[in-house]
Amino acid sequence: MSNILISTLTTCPYCGVGCGISASAPDQAVTVQGDSTHPANYGRLCVKGSALAQTLSAEGRLLKPQVNGNDCDWPTAISAVAEGLQQTIVQHGPGAVAMYLSGQLLTEDYYVANKLMKGFIGSPHVDTNSRLCMASTVAGHKRAFGADVVPGCYDDIEQARLFVLVGANMAWNHPVLFGRIQAVLQAHPEAKLVVIDPRRSASCEAAQLHLKLRPGSDVLLFTGLLSFLAEQGKLDYRFINMHTDGFAEALASAQLQAATVQQVAAGCDMPLEDVLLFYRWFADQPLSLTLFSQGVNQAVDGTDKVNAIINCHLASGRIGKPGCGPFSLTGQPNAMGGREVGGLANQLAAHIDYSDKAQQALVGEFWKAPNLVTQPGFKAVELFDAIERGEIKAVWIMATNPVVSMPQADKVKAALAKCPLVIVSDIYQHTDTLELATIKLPALGWSEKDGTVTNSERRISRQRALCAPFGQAKADWQIICDVAKALGFNQGFNFDSAAQIFAEHAALSGFGNAGERAFDISGLQHLTTEQYQKLAPIQWPVTSTHPNGTARLFADGQFFTANGRAQFIAVQQGTFKPVMPDAPLRLNSGRLRDQWHTMTRTGEVASLMQHTPEPFVTLHPSDAALYGITTGELVKLANNNGAMLVRAQISDKQRPKELFIPMHWSAQFASQARADVLFAADTDPISGQPALKLSQVALTRFAPKWQAFLFTKTLLTPGQLQRFSQHYLARVPLTGCQSYRLALSTAPDSDKHVLQLLQLTPTLYCREQSSSAEFTYRAAAIADNQLQWLLLAGPALPDIDMTWINQQFSVPLSKQTRQYLLSGQAGQGIASDNSALICSCFNVRSKAICEAIQNGADSTAQLGKQLQCGTNCGSCLPELSALLAQQLNKTLSDVNG
C-alpha cells in the first residue's frame, strides 16, 4: 500500500450518520480522527469509525480479477462479463439480467449501474440492500409527503426537548447522533428520552421511559397516540386544514383501533401508566422529535408504522419547524444516495417513478437511452426468487453479501449456486457470496474510493481517497463503464472521473424539474473538477434559489404531492404469520455496538471483536429456567427455514418468550450463525421490505461432548476446519493470533484423532486425561521459539487467560512461559485482566472498571478521568452507566451524569 495524500477530509463508510473524518498518513500509516468541521459529528467518531485505520490492510483483499476460479487481467475479466451478459440477453432477453447493489456504493457508482441497466441493457431488475433497511420509510414518506424525503436535519436534535426512539438502538447503531441527544439531556433537565423497543437496549440506559412493547404493536401505539391527541385537544387544526388531506379518515380509523389508552396498553402488553406518561409527554412538548429505524422498517406493516408516526406529527403540526418532526435514521452510509439515482427496482432515476410517463420520458431523453425500461423490476426478495426459478440467469452483485443478509438465506445461497452467471464485485477474497461467484471483480475499498455519499439528513459529503488501490482493484463506476463500453454503449459511459458522473447526475436531477421533484441538486451541475474535489458537505435540495442547500423542508407547509398537501394515511397493524406451529419462541434480530453488517471489515479488527466475540442468543431468565439453559451454553435455534448454533446469554432485558440474536455472523466467522436463515421472506406489501425483526423458533440444548479453545498463528484453511463446520466453530481474530472456539456433539476417538481432524502436529504435548467418555488434553506447537498453535480441550471450555495467551504469540517464549503455556493461564505474579472488554478505544475491561467503582468512582465522568474509558468515542457510556448502577445499586438516572 502506498499513501497518496498527507491529509484529507472524507466520510465514514459505516452508518447513515455520515460522520466526517480527517485522515492523515504522516509515516505511511493512516490515522483517522473526527472532522471537527463536519456538521454531522463536529469531530466525534464512534468505536467503529475510530477503528477504521485498522481495516486498511492488504490481507484478505481480492487483488486480481478472477474468471471461473482463475486469476486474469482486467481486459479478460471485462470481456467475460460483457460476453456473459450479452449471451444471456441474446438467448433470454434483457429481463434475464439483474443487478443487486448496496448502500455501501458511492452515488457515482450507483448512477452508472442504474443507467446501464435501465437505459441501455433494458432490464428493470436493479435492486439494492437498501430494500432490507429503508424501503418502508421510502414508501411511507412518499405516501405522506409525495417524495422520498427526510423533512428535518441533525441540528433539530439540539432544539428538541422530547426524543422518541422507535425501533432504533441509537446508542449502538447511530452512536454519534445519540451522543448529541445525551448532551441535550444533560444540558436541559426538562428534556426527556423515551425508548420504544421490545428489549432493553443500550439506548435505554439514558432514557427516562422505556416502553417494552409487544413486538409488532407499534401501529397500535401510534394510532392510540393520535386518538389521545384528539381527545386531549392537542391537535393543530390550522395546520391540518391548511396543509393536509385525509385527516378525518385517519383519525376515525385510529379511534376504531385504539379507542382507549387501556385498549392500547393491553394490545401493546405494557403498563397503562407507561403508555399514558408517553402520551402526556408527547402531547405537552411541541419540540418532539421521533427518530426511527429498522425496528419500524423491517416489518410486514413497516410502511404503515412509518405513516402512523408521521400522522401524529402532521396532526400536531410538528413538521417543518426547528426541533420537531419524524426523523428516519438511515442504516447505511449511502442508502439515500443510492435512492437519489434510482437504485430501487421501483424507481427510475432522480426520484422519478414509473407511474409518471411524462417524467419517465425525460430520463430517456436525457440519457439518450436506446432501451429505456418502462415498468418496475423485481424487489430484492422477488429478485432472488426469480433467480431460484431460473428466470434471472445473470446477476451482478456489488458490495453486498446477500447469502448472509437476505431472509431465507439458505434459499438465496441455493439460488445463486445454480444461477448460470454470478458476477460479484467486492473488496475481499472470502465472503459467503463471493464463494458462489463465476466472475470475481476486485473493487476499491473505503480508503481508495472517490465520490459522494448522502447521509440521513440529506447531506451530500465527499468520500475522498487516502491510499492508492490495493492490487488491481478498480472503482466500481470504472468497472461498470468498462463493461458498458464492451457491450457497445460507448456514448453514455465515456466518463473519466467521478466528478463527471456527479455533474451528469446533478444535471438530471434538475432536468424538466420545475419544483415537482424534491430531489434537485442542479445547483451543483456545473462544478468543475476542482470544485468537486473541494465540495463541502451540503444538504439537498441545492438549486439556483438555494445554492447553499436546504436544512429543513416543509417550513412553508408545501409538500410534493399533486395538490401540495401532506396526506394522512389510515393505517392498519399487520399480522404476523407463524413460521411453524411448534416453534414457541419469538425471535428478533439486530446490530451490535462494534460490528458492521456481515463483519467483512469489522470482524477482522481484533479490538472490535473483543466486545462480543461469539454469536449468541439472549433469552429471559424464565425461559432459561424452563429449558434448563445456563449462561454460556450452546443452544440450537431452528424453524422451517433453517437453524443456528449459538451461545446462550440470559437477561431480563428480554421479554419472556422472546429471543434476540445479532445479525452479523457469516460462515467466515462461525459455522452455524447466519441469523437470516431463520427469517421467512415475508415482506411489507407496499415497500417490499422483508420482516427481519420477527420470526419464530424452537430452542433446544446442544450438549457438546468435546469443546476446545484453539489459538493459531495463521488462519486455518476451510479443509482443516471442515469437520467443525457441521458442529460448532467460532473464529475470533486477536492481535497476535486467530482464536477458535470449537465443539463437537460426539467425543473424538482419541487426542490423535482431534489433531488429525485439525491437521496439526504438536511439538509440546500434554495428555492430561483421555477416555471414551471424557477427553481432556492440551497440546501446542513451537517453532524457532515462537508459539505456532495451542489447543486446550475438554468436555467443557477450560478456564483460560485469553489476554495472556494472545500476548505469547507476539514474543519469544521464555522458559517460564513454556511452563504455564498448557495451563492456559498466566503464571503466579503475572498480572493479566481477562474480564469483558467494555471500552474498545482504550482497552478498558470490566474488572478494572468495577475496581475503580469500588474505590470511589461514582459517575461515568469519574471513570473516564481515572481509566479513560468512555472519553473517546463514547460508545461504551451506556455500559459504564449500567455497571455503575449495578455496582452502586443506584438508579441509572443517578449515574448518567
Q: Using CB under 6 A as the criterion, which residues of the chain lie in contact with ligand SF4 when the complex forms?
A: 12, 14-15, 17-19, 41, 45-46, 48-49, 174-176
Which of 501, 542, 396 is closest to 108 using CA atoms?
Answer: 501
Give least dist CB 37 to ligand SF4, A: 15
> Which distant-in-sequence residues (6+ apart) come within 8 Å of 39 by Cβ?
20, 154, 155, 459, 537
Which uninterrupted H or E stretch holds 646? strand 642-650
Backbone φ and ψ for 742, nearest 5 degrees, come out as -125, 150
Cell numbers linked to 152? 428535518
Give least dist CB 643 to ligand SF4, A: 31
Which uninterrupted H or E stretch holds 247? helix 247-257
Give least dist CB 610 to ligand SF4, A: 17
Q: Please list the alpha-helical segments (H only) found in 496-604.
A: 498-510, 529-534
| Cα distance between the two ends of the chain | 44
Q: Measure Cα distances from 882 to 136, 188, 888 in Å.
A: 33, 22, 10
Give least dist CB 525 to ligand SF4, A: 27
Give least dist CB 181 to ligand SF4, A: 13
Q: Which residue number, 223 or 875, has a Cβ lying nearer to ligand SF4?
A: 875
Cell numbers linked to 319? 413538521
Q: Please report how the helices 272-284 and 261-268 are oriented relative to each other, as an axis angle in degrees rounded to 10.
A: 120
Q: Which residue number, 20 or 469, has a Cβ lying nearer to ligand SF4?
A: 20
Give least dist CB 295 to ligand SF4, A: 18
Q: Which residue number, 177 or 444, has a Cβ lying nearer to ligand SF4?
A: 177
Q: Which residue is nearest to ligand SF4 (CB)?
A: 49
Q: Report the DSSP pairing between strands 394-398 and 97-101.
A: parallel
Separation CA 742–CA 720 (nearest Å):
12
Q: Which residue number, 691 or 838, has a Cβ lying nearer to ligand SF4?
A: 838
Q: Which residue number, 117 or 608, has a Cβ lying nearer to ligand SF4?
A: 608
Using DSSP, how many helices (H) and how many strands (E) does the chain show?
Answer: 32, 34
Q: Which residue number, 19 or 857, has a Cβ lying nearer to ligand SF4?
A: 19
Q: Which residue number, 334 or 478, has a Cβ lying nearer to ligand SF4?
A: 334
Give least dist CB 796 to ligand SF4, A: 37
Q: Which residue number, 39 or 175, has a Cβ lying nearer to ligand SF4?
A: 175
Give least dist CB 174 to ligand SF4, A: 6
Q: Which residue number, 167 or 175, has a Cβ lying nearer to ligand SF4?
A: 175
Separation CA 185–CA 650 (nearest Å):
31
Give least dist CB 518 to ligand SF4, A: 24
Q: Which residue number, 43 or 794, has a Cβ lying nearer to ligand SF4?
A: 43
Q: Which residue number, 755 or 841, has a Cβ lying nearer to ligand SF4?
A: 841
Question: Is the separation of the CB atoms in 599 and 665 below 8 Å?
Answer: yes
Give least dist CB 18 to ligand SF4, A: 6
Which of 637, 364, 378, 373 is closest to 511 using CA atoms?
Answer: 364
Give least dist CB 278 to ligand SF4, A: 27
Q: Report the DSSP pairing between strands 764-770 and 775-783.
A: antiparallel
Cell 480479477, located at residue: 65
Separation CA 596–CA 605 (nearest Å):
11
Q: Measure Cα distances from 516 to 144, 351, 362 in Å.
A: 15, 10, 13
Question: Is the separation of the CB atoms in 72 and 64 below 8 Å?
Answer: yes
Give least dist CB 14 to ligand SF4, A: 3
Q: Provide the residue type at 23 as one letter.
A: A
Separation CA 665–CA 370 (nearest Å):
43
Beta bridge partners of 752: none
Which of 720, 576, 597 is closest to 666 using CA atoms?
Answer: 597
**760-791: buried (b, 16+ CB within 10 Å) or exposed (e) per residue?**
bebebeeeeeeeeeebbbbbbbbeeeebbbbb
Separation CA 152–CA 161 (nearest Å):
15
Q: Which residue number, 115 or 459, has a Cβ lying nearer to ligand SF4?
A: 459
Q: Which residue number, 43 or 512, has a Cβ lying nearer to ligand SF4?
A: 43
Give least dist CB 16 to ligand SF4, A: 7
**Residue 276: Cβ within 10 Å count:** 15
Give least dist CB 148 to ligand SF4, A: 21
What sign results for the dihedral spanned by CA atoms 593, 599, 602, 605? positive
Give least dist CB 58 to ligand SF4, A: 23
Residue-wise DSSP of 15-73 = STT--EEEEE-TTSS-EEEE-TT-TTTTT---HHHHTGGGG--STTB--S-EETTEE--
Give least dist CB 447 to ligand SF4, A: 14
Q: Which residue number, 227 or 293, has a Cβ lying nearer to ligand SF4?
A: 293
Backbone φ and ψ for 815, nearest 5 degrees, come out as -60, -40
Separation CA 593–CA 731 (nearest Å):
18
Q: Which residue number, 14 or 554, has a Cβ lying nearer to ligand SF4?
A: 14
Separation CA 631–CA 624 (nearest Å):
9
Q: Which residue number, 597 or 674, has a Cβ lying nearer to ligand SF4?
A: 597
Q: Which residue number, 163 or 711, has a Cβ lying nearer to ligand SF4?
A: 163
Q: Which residue number, 326 or 874, has a Cβ lying nearer to ligand SF4?
A: 874
Give least dist CB 52 to ligand SF4, A: 8
Give least dist CB 874 to ligand SF4, A: 10
Separation CA 835–CA 824 (nearest Å):
15
**Residue 854: Cβ within 10 Å count:** 10
